[in-house]
Chains A and B, each alone.
Chain A
Amino acid sequence: MTRDELKEYIAGHLEGKLKPLDSGKFNPLFEVIESDLLTVAQVLRDDENLKFDFLSCISGIDTGERFEIIYSLTSLAKNHRLELKVVLSRENPEVESVQGIWPAANWYEREIWELYGFDIKNHGNLTRFLLADDWDQGYPLRKDWDAPDFVRFPELER
């Protein structure tokens, strides 16, 4: 399937659960609401024509107003790619774990939990492994994060 065919196929197949977003010349990007994530993920993995069998990356994003989490999927069988975006609220960022569908999510989700503080529901092993053992300064990749020895890059005059 070409990129546009893939886009159309997914949009038709998961009508109402996915919202296609403009991703320019990059991989197709869809937004999904948090409660639909697991059903959508299951279909994406198991559908005969999609077969997204490989979760290549999970990214957390803090835009300043809201949190986003992006699942980058790859199909090794069909050789195509897809990005799934879930928007989380800033006050209460929580998302269901996708470990049941892609076991690779385990460490990615731990990392997101550690650096962004998203609450990953039903993860089972949310323990620290990247930051220092005695870290108590919060979630460093959030935009509003600060620490006593943290120095922001000075604004440059243009």
Chain B
Amino acid sequence: MGIIKKLPVYSEKIPGGGLVLTSLDAIFNYSRACSVWYLLFGTACCAIELMCTGAARYDFDRLGMIFRATPRQSDVILVAGTITKKFAPRLRRLYDQMAEPRYIIAMGGCTVNGGPFYYDCYSVEKGIDHIVPVDVYIPGCPPRPESLLEGCLHLQKKIKTQTISDWQEK
């Protein structure tokens, strides 16, 4: 019973079995943090690192991160790559199509502030936080898979601090 060791629970043995008592917050957060499904979304070279992280060597699956090909089934968009001004409304639309609670990880310099396209560039959005709210920023050009994993762990940490009452208010 691995889950019992990680959650604040009270377990009571009764004849023929047992009861586990915990708070809704704890069980919800645990489930959500351990099944962060991400949208298949790569617009530039960061996507190569994302694929690498998802593949066997770095193995996203052990964090419960599985890629989904539709925003309706995803919890997070890992924005991997340059977002141009032309593409910005499409990103917003994908974000709007996701069900709450939803998260955004900005991966790489381009998504953080325009990165290498900051100067002398007319076509690149200087930071995706102009378009969608960002939960975790991962700098790097592109970030190594280790950084990406660290970013995802930070996201998990963030998810675990939330309470149900927070997202009822939204």
Contact = CB atoms under 8 A, between A and B. Distances in A.
Interface string A79-103: 0000000000000000000000000
B82 to A, nearest CB: 14
A131 B120 contact: no
Given A132-B85, A133-B86, A140 B120 contact: no
B86 A145 contact: no
A147 B85 CA distance: 13
A47 interface: no
Contacts of A26: none
A151 B86 contact: no
A65 interface: no
A35 to B, nearest CB: 32
Interface string B117-130: 01111110010000
Contacts of A145: 122
Contact of B119 (A131, A133, A151): A151
A130 B87 CA distance: 11
A135 B84 CA distance: 12
Interface in A128-142: 130-133, 135, 137, 140-141
Where chain A touches its partner, the secondary structure class is loop
Nearest to B118: A151
How many of chain B's residues touch chain A, expressed as a range? 10 to 19
A111 B104 CA distance: 34
Contacts of A130: 86
Contacts of A140: 122-123
Interface in B105-127: 118-123, 126
A44 B118 CA distance: 43
B122 A147 contact: yes
Contacts of B120: 151-153
Contacts of B119: 151-154
A131 B126 contact: no
Contacts of A151: 118-120, 126
A70 B156 CA distance: 55
Contact of B126 (A132, A135, A149): A149
Contacts of A154: 119
A125 B170 CA distance: 47
Nearest to A146: B122
14 contacts: A130-B86, A131-B86, A132-B86, A140-B122, A140-B123, A147-B122, A149-B126, A151-B118, A151-B120, A152-B119, A152-B120, A153-B119, A153-B120, A154-B119
Interface of B: 84-86, 88-89, 118-123, 126
Q: Which 4 A-B pairs have the closest CB atoms?
A: A140-B122, A153-B119, A132-B86, A132-B85
